[in-house]
Amino acid sequence: MEEVCECMLDLDSPNRFIQYELWKDCRNGCKFCFNKGQPDVDKIESLNYVMTKLQDKEVDLYNEIGFIGGEFFDNQLENDMVRKMFYDLFMVCKEKGFEKIYVTSSLLFDVNTYLIPFLNYLRDINLLEKILLCTSWDSWGRFHTKEQLELWENNVLLLHELYPTLKIHTETIVTQAFINDVLEDRFSIKRFSERFNTRMDFIEPGSGFYYFDKKECAKELTNFFPTKESFLKFLMKVYKNGEIELQTFLSPNIRSDVIYNILDGKRVSAHGRRKSSNDCFWKELKVKYERGFLDSDMKMTDVVKEFANMVGEQ
């Protein structure tokens, strides 16, 4: 059964973005994964479901589309039928004329097995230039070894070398560990973006679908939720250095307007996500799924707005 929360789409928006989760299956084991404890789904059933959804009139209202996992390319496409159906999704996207297509990947695997053949396919059907490959980088909890970090770095550089027109977008969680690295000059957003030719966007830390709330989550994930004071110091530094744009930092406009997701094995959806910080299907959870600071219930986005007002960048 699908839970739907309807909200009016802003048809005047230049980028109207609809998104589908295909499956949960992933073996990266990121410590903070919001899907921790979630059951996987049958991939063929899921692909059939999404292929059917792409025929809905609703889809014609959107000019951008995205697909998220799980992970798609770390031995997830070894089944011939799954791989064919996955490829077929993108042919449908081409036929529908989407202006931008988002595809997520951790890039923590050998890209030669499934990702590069997929990108070659997109290039062959003249779709590669519309792709935004979305990956993640975090200074804590994502890379379990130095070798994993180097693998991610080498994969990004290789993809740029092989596909000069491919756009790569990197998402980072504003954890306490990340803030500490920036404040103590162990990490530079500007140098990172220049080295890997990627735009870096940011999201708030959240307790996910596994922990009851952020306090329980923080007991296991130390250095995950930041303090409000340290976040303000971080904002001051990266703004002064010209490393972020306050208008887009943590902005809900980088999210999809609507997402079709999988929660506890059933299909759910949330509309109007850019207008609300709460995705509607989370009301079905037995957990709170809290975001933000360790020591304050104030929203990170509200702190950013206050800071923007203070520096005259409303």
State residue 3's pLDDT score. Answer: 44
Distance separating alpha carbons of residues 285 and 76, to the nearest angstrom: 27
Average pLDDT, the chain: 91
State residue 10's pLDDT score. Answer: 72
Intra-chain end-to-end CA distance of the chain, in Å: 42
Structural domains for the chain: 17-175+185-209+249-279 (3.80.30)
State residue 6's pLDDT score. Answer: 46
Residue 47 pLDDT greater than 80, yes or no? yes
State residue 11's pLDDT score. Answer: 72
According to DSSP H, which parts of 31-145 are helical? 43-53, 80-96, 115-124
pTM, rounded to two decimals = 0.92
State residue 229's pLDDT score. Answer: 97
Averaged pLDDT, 73-82: 95
pLDDT tens-digit profile of 225-249?
Answer: 999 999 999 999 999 999 999 988 9
pLDDT tens-digit profile of 192-210?
Answer: 999 999 999 999 999 888 8
As to burial, measured by CB atoms within 10 angstroms (0-12 exposed, 13-18 middle, 19+ buried), residue 132 is: middle
